[in-house]
Amino acid sequence: MNLTGADGRRHRPVAGAPGAAVTGGSPPQVGPIAILPEADPAFVEAASAAGGRVEPLSGATRGLVWTSSGGGDLLESVLAEHPAISWVQLPWAGVDAFADLLRRHRGDGRVWTSAKGAYAQPVAEHALALALAVLRELPRRARATAWEADERGRTLYGAEVVIVGAGGIAVELLALLAPFRVRATVVRRADAAVPGAARTVSTDRLAEVLATAEVVFVVAALTPATRGLIGADELAALPAGAVLVNVARGGLVDSDALVAALESGRLGGAGLDVTEPEPLPAEHPLWTAPNCLVTPHVADTEAMTVPLFAHRIAANVAAFVGGTTFDGRIDLEAGY
């Protein structure tokens, strides 16, 4: 099954701890579940095994598993024509593609869930791979056509690391970083502690902690409040030679400011699985920027995401049928 959006872009998780839930409101009305637009057999099997009754969309439908990252207009029409639907499962953790729809449905009584946290392991793995590649200057090495005897390159061991975002990816990334004995600071909306982090600070202290960061991982949700969170001022706050890795959403980082920082030589490098714009045009300067490695939004491939999404479907169908806590419930006010 193709889990890409209508525009060809893939949308991965970027925030929200696994199992996070938003409490309050009435429980959803239980009934048949429809899986649209494509009912992948793995998803049908997962829902059925969890006790759900999967049926074609009808007036009796009470639960909806949406399997496309795009198609917001189609989803809107389905909900308009089937107002009895009381629970909607979206396919990715990052729900910015559905932001307008979610805003319109505040207060309609429906429970909305995403896959936040479900794909955290492969994305954290990719983030670590990008960081190691850029620290060792593999982008330049891979482009070389002759032996270069210089000894440039740095180690991740013992580094000062800043992780922007505190969801599932951050939690998994902290576990992967533990053997490197880094000192990790997590930046999030509130300064509640995150297991594995040496310290946690609120977003208003971002510039302060960037001042000593050797590696910065961007894993936050994209919302109106976080768009452009890493801009010219934040990049200037970094020490010379720092490395930036973004596996969340391209819109979190000001692309023009990033290009300027890389071309100036002050920023030590960047590893990007997401960009703004996306797809990144062939002529974009990020492709040739010094020590910059771009991968085309593939931190979690379909081979990885289908079984992981099936697991999330099973968990939330069980919650829907049993009246228990949903995994990845969306906070409609916060937007993720």
Query: What whole-number distance in Å separates Cα of residue 211 and Cα of residue 50?
Result: 48
Provide the pairing of β-strand 160-164 with 111-113: unpaired
Active-site option among 172, 214, 234, 278: 278
Q: Is the distance from CB of 185 to CB of 209 less than 8 angstroms?
A: yes
Length of the chain: 336
Query: What whole-number distance in Å separates Cα of residue 104 and Cα of residue 335?
Result: 12
Q: Is 172 a catalytic residue?
A: no
Query: What whole-number distance in Å separates Cα of residue 224 and Cα of residue 18?
Result: 23
With tokens 């976080």, the residue in question is 226
- Across 92-214, the runs of DSSP E, i.e. the strands, are 111-113, 160-164, 183-188, 199-202
Paired tokens of 204: 């208003």
| Residues in contact with 315: Cβ distance below 8 Å, sequence separation at least 6, in sequence order | 50, 327
The crossing angle, in degrees rounded to 10, of helices 41-49 and 302-322 is 30
Active-site option among 126, 140, 297, 329: 297
Q: Is 125 a catalytic residue?
A: no
Q: Is 297 a catalytic residue?
A: yes
* Cα–chain center distance at 190: 19
Q: Which residues pair with 184 in a beta bridge?
A: 161
Is residue 277 reached through a cis peptide bond, with omega within 30 degrees of 0 on the bond before it? yes
Active site residues: 249, 278, 297
